[in-house]
A = this chain, B = another copy of it.
Amino acid sequence: MDLKEISKIINSDFDGISFNITKMNTLRDASKSEISFVANSKYIKEIESSNAGAIIVDKQTKEFVPNGCVALVVDNPYLEMATLSKYFAPPIEDDSLAEPVIGEGSSVSPKAEIAKGAVIGKNCTIMAHVYIGANAVVGDNTVIYPSVTIYRDCKVGSDCIIHANTTIGSDGFGFATNKLGEHRKIYQNGNVVVEDNVEIGSSTTIDRAVFGTTLIKYGVRIDNLVQVGHNCIIGEHSVLVAQSGISGSTTMGRNVVMGGQSATAGHLSIAPFTTMAARSGVTKSISQSGMTFAGFPLMEHKLWLKLQGKIARLIKQ
């Protein structure tokens, strides 16, 4: 999309030499042909090292944008980023893509729907009422149970099992809110990648990234009714027990265990080999690996046990 056209869509003045913008991205990941935005002053320090070709900013932030990068000035960069995101959203389905490819030995139910551009590996079982979206990829030997939906551009590895009614790649919960309290959708133009040897239970939901990828790494085990927000990274062999919820952009190392009905806030980092007891509520990052936590707010499991003793005595007083 032409930069000049973008400036019109978001009502920003621009009279420089236009060029083609291929994508929206974070400051960190954007390349010369991509556009980014600064909606929070804490990201100003990332502007300098960004390779973005253009950045949507407010008046105050403009001065931090270096030469060689176009600053598009607007009143509310977050809201205009949302406006623009719609224009970069690919169509839900695309008839111009190639016919889907089904690998040798794979069984695909005639009642499944495989969209154009999708590629299914060898020896897979794709059951009735499954939907696999445009350009989605499934590896070899993977079993996908009925009514699983995999949105466009998502990838599921080899030797995976996805149980019934699970959704991979639905839109992350993103919107910008104006002064009137009205929400404008931030189109979620990233994807989900599920690596090899992952099993995912039934009615679990894994949201696609706003930019980039929501990543479920090798060997992970996810139970039923689990929510994984956009842009999360779940480390190798981690275990998410039923009804747990991982908020957006949280990253966990390998072999993290999230107990049943536990949850994390967003944008956290959780060290490898951390165990969260059932119902834990994680509000801060965990940097030391190998520890066990419980409670909400979170505390070391042994402290939580001690607290329960104190509370028991409090009741008796």
Contact = CB atoms under 8 A, between A and B. Distances in A.
A261 B263 contact: yes
Contacts of A241: 173
A204 B201 CA distance: 12
B207 A205 contact: no
A183 B237 contact: yes
Q: Mostly helix, strand, loop or mixed at chain A's interface?
A: loop
Given A131-B146, A182-B237, A243 B227 contact: yes
The oligomer's copy count stands at: 3
Nearest to A125: B92
Interface of A: 92-93, 109, 111, 113, 125, 127-129, 131, 143, 145-147, 149, 151, 161, 163-167, 170-171, 173, 175, 177, 181-183, 185, 199, 201-205, 207, 219, 221, 223-225, 227, 229, 237, 239, 241-243, 245, 247, 254-255, 260-261, 263, 265, 273, 278-279, 281, 296-297, 299, 303, 306-308, 310-311, 314-315, 317
Contacts of A113: 109, 111, 127-129, 146
A237 B182 CA distance: 6
Contacts of A201: 170-171, 173, 205, 207
A306 B93 CA distance: 51
28 contacts: A92-B125, A92-B127, A92-B143, A127-B131, A129-B131, A147-B147, A147-B149, A163-B171, A165-B166, A167-B203, A167-B224, A173-B223, A173-B224, A181-B255, A182-B237, A183-B221, A183-B239, A201-B205, A203-B205, A205-B242, A224-B227, A225-B225, A243-B243, A245-B261, A260-B263, A263-B279, A279-B281, A303-B315
A182 B315 contact: no
Given A131-B146, A167-B165, A227 B242 contact: yes
B265 A173 contact: no
Given A129-B129, A227-B242, 18 more contacts: A111-B111, A147-B165, A149-B164, A151-B164, A163-B171, A165-B166, A170-B202, A173-B201, A182-B237, A183-B239, A202-B205, A223-B227, A224-B227, A225-B245, A227-B260, A263-B278, A297-B308, A310-B317
B265 A278 contact: yes
A279 to B, nearest CB: 6
A109 B181 CA distance: 35
